[in-house]
Every structure is written in structure tokens, then in C-alpha cells.
Amino acid sequence: MKRMLLFCGFSAWILIGCSSGKPDTFAALADARWDGVILRAGMSYDDAWQKIVYIIARRFDIEMVLKDEGYLRTAWSFSKDKNGRVLENNRDRAIVKFTADKKKVEFKVEHQFNDRDCWIAGADTSASNQVLKGISMSVGQPVK
């Protein structure tokens, strides 16, 4: 009986102690939410484009750039934990697009979590909030 209780206790400890590696800020979603920022008055498209490319390139490797169309997409990049350690079962990528009139930029940060060799699509608010803060502070104000 003691052995059984010890085994059950040890098993429970293992199950609780072994986390899936999924960030607390992750939500499984079919598609990540688009955020938008209206360019501040007097800011040209070229200036906004340069600042946004710089902000995105600091965090992600850029995969596709179509400046004339106002579109940018990054490659998938493994996430990092609070200590800067790479998490190979979590990855992000960003997509940025300007509206046709070039007065508003919209973007989303897609997040995927790998669960037993299957990537689960979703969003990670910590990653998207960092991009939102960087873009809104440099080129305008967030759209509600």
C-alpha cells in the first residue's frame, strides 16, 4: 500500500512538474488578431516604412518585403523564455501591411506551439504586445 501511494505521489509530481512548454500568454486560435496603428500627422509613408522594417528586423528575420505594396512578412522564429533561452517548441512570425492610402499600418504576430510534432496555431499576447508597443511608439497611435 505504501509503495502504491509513493508511486502515485511520484507520478503526480512528475506530471505537474513537467510543463508542456506552452507560454502562459498563448491562446490556441485559428488566426491571430490584426492590430492597427494610424500614422501620426505629418509622417510620410517612407519614414513609417523604414521605422517599421527596423522594429521588425530587430526581432525577426525578414522573409518577404514588398515596399510598393506595403507588405512585409517574416520567417518563423523560435521564441525565447525570460532568460533568453530558445524554446524550440514555440515559434512566431510577423505580417505587416499598410492600407491602400498608406495612412494606417496593420500587423499580426502569429504564434505556433509544437505539441507532439504537430504545430498548433494561435497567438501569444506577449509577442504581439511588444510589436504593437514598438510600432505605435514610433509611427502613431493604436486603433481601438
pLDDT for res 16: 31
- Residue by residue, pLDDT tens for the chain (144 residues) are 555 444 334 333 333 333 456 667 767 766 778 999 999 999 999 999 999 999 999 999 999 999 999 999 999 999 887 788 888 888 999 999 999 999 999 999 999 989 888 898 888 888 888 898 999 999 996 565
β-pairing, 119-124 with 62-66? Answer: unpaired
Which amino acid, residue 23?
P
Nearby residues of 95 by Cβ (< 8 Å), 6 or more positions away:
71, 72, 73, 74, 107, 108, 110
Phi-psi region of 117 (alpha: psi -120 to 50; beta: other; left: phi over 0): left
Look-up: residue for cell 504581439? 128
pLDDT for res 55: 95
* Structural domains for the chain: 22-142 (3.30.530.50)
Burial of 7 (0-12, 13-18, 19+ CB in 10 A): exposed
pLDDT for res 125: 81
pLDDT for res 93: 94
Spatial separation of the C-alpha atoms in residues 9 and 12, rounded to whole Å: 5
pLDDT for res 5: 42
Buried b (16+ CB within 10 A) or exposed e, 64-82: eeeeeebebbbeebebeee
